[in-house]
Amino acid sequence: MPLLGVVVLSAAIASLSLGAVDVPLREVGAVVTGRLGLSWLGEPADQAVAVVWNIRMPRLLLGVTVGAGLAACGVALQGLLRNDLADPHLLGIGPGAAIGAAIGAGAGGIPGAIAGGVAAGVLTSFILRRFRRRLSIDPTRIILSGVALGAALSAWVGFIVTASDRSVVPPMEFWLLGSLSGATWRAFGTTAVMVGAGLLALLMMRRLLDLLVTGDQQARHLGVDVELVSTVLLIVVGAVVGATVGAVGVVAFVGLLVPFLIRRLVGPRHGHLLAGAALAGAGLVLVSDLVARLSLEPVEIPVGLVTSAVGGPVFLWLLARRRDV
């Protein structure tokens, strides 16, 4: 875990410094300390302030927020569905949220996109709630159903974006592959409130998630109101995923990759899993965004392509390892 912290911090510093314009570390330090009212690293250049503070800092913080939120939601969904293949985007919540976010973006810019994403994310998770009861015996089927749902919902994102005003609504590529390039302080602030509240709610439900993993019936006998808890969990997951989609589009596989890695580090308890996943998720999105920005410089590739390039093979491997497929 301390090592993970170091990786996340290094990635954060690198993402402030590197890019189309490289800003030396000392200058990055001057900007950040200057903003905190300190001047012991000297007065930074105006250009450095513009690049580091107005462009890269909100992008960094938004990446951290999105990564932490998606990874924690992956942990929660995997606990609820008792299935380590569950990922909010693979199950269709992301594409569903993107429909609402694209409509919201047309109506009210970034805040509209986030509000629309939250609403549509929650609605899509309720479709999954109906799946859970009927399909919970067969964990692979629920994933297949989610993938089919996601494909159908992605198609609708395409229809809506094509029919919308291109000057206000970002293109389909943004919604379905994700990008942090439009990050602003405002987008970060709104997303952070939703994700922060969601993470807190999930952490408060950590023991309930532990109990759910031992089976619905067992959890109920130990005093868990399983229906109520499932509903609350799905609302929280839908809202958090929806907020991230509204801000940066669908960044796939973060909710699958991170819990998979973190489980091996911290064990099965959800208190540790959620905290560890939030940290690792932040790191994964930061590193992926660095790769997205720097690999084909000066052209940026969508960050979701980077996470999918890694996540897809891991998903296949997890699928092949299951005995019930």
Partner 1 sequence: MSDPLVSATGIGYSVDGAVLLGGIDITVARGELVGVLGPNGAGKSTLIRVLAGDLLPTTGTVVISGLEVARATPGELALLRSVYGYPTPVDVPFTGRAIVEMGRYPHRLREDNTAEIDRTMVSDAMDRTATTRFANRAFATLSSGERARILLARMLAQDAEIILMDEPTANLDVGHGEHILSEARRLADDGRAVLSVFHDLNEAARYADRMLLLDRGGLRIEGRPREVLSGDTLSEVYGQALRVVDHPFLDCPLVLVGG
- The least CB distance from residue 207 to partner 1, in Å, is 6
As measured in angstroms, the least distance from the Cβ of 256 to partner 1 is: 17
User: For residues 53 and 97, is the Cβ–Cβ distance under 8 A?
Assistant: no
> Of 35 and 322, which has the nearer Cβ to partner 1?
322
User: Minimum distance between the CB of residue 209 and partner 1, rounded to whole angstroms?
Assistant: 12
Work out how close the CB of 129 gets to partner 1 at its nearest, in angstroms, rounded to a whole number: 18
CB of 21 or CB of 222, closer to partner 1:
222
State which residue, 35 or 221, has the beta carbon closest to partner 1.
221
Contacts 24+ apart (CB under 8 A), 49-57: 51/19, 51/21, 51/23, 52/16, 52/23, 52/27, 52/28, 54/185, 55/183, 56/15, 56/16, 56/19, 57/16, 57/32
Q: Are 210 and 269 in contact (CB under 8 A)?
A: yes
* DSSP code at position 22: -
Closer of 201 and 226 to partner 1 (Cβ) = 226
Tell the smallest beta-carbon distance from residue 201 to partner 1 (Å): 18
Peptide bond into 268 cis (omega under 30): no
Q: Would you tell me which residues interact with partner 1 (CB under 8 A)?
A: 82, 207, 210-211, 213-215, 217-218, 220-226, 263, 267-269
DSSP string, 197-214: HHHHHHHHTHHHHHHHHT
Show the DSSP H helices in 249-296 as ranges: 254-266, 270-294
The two three-digit tokens of residue 204, written as one number: 């408060």
Amino acid at 63: G
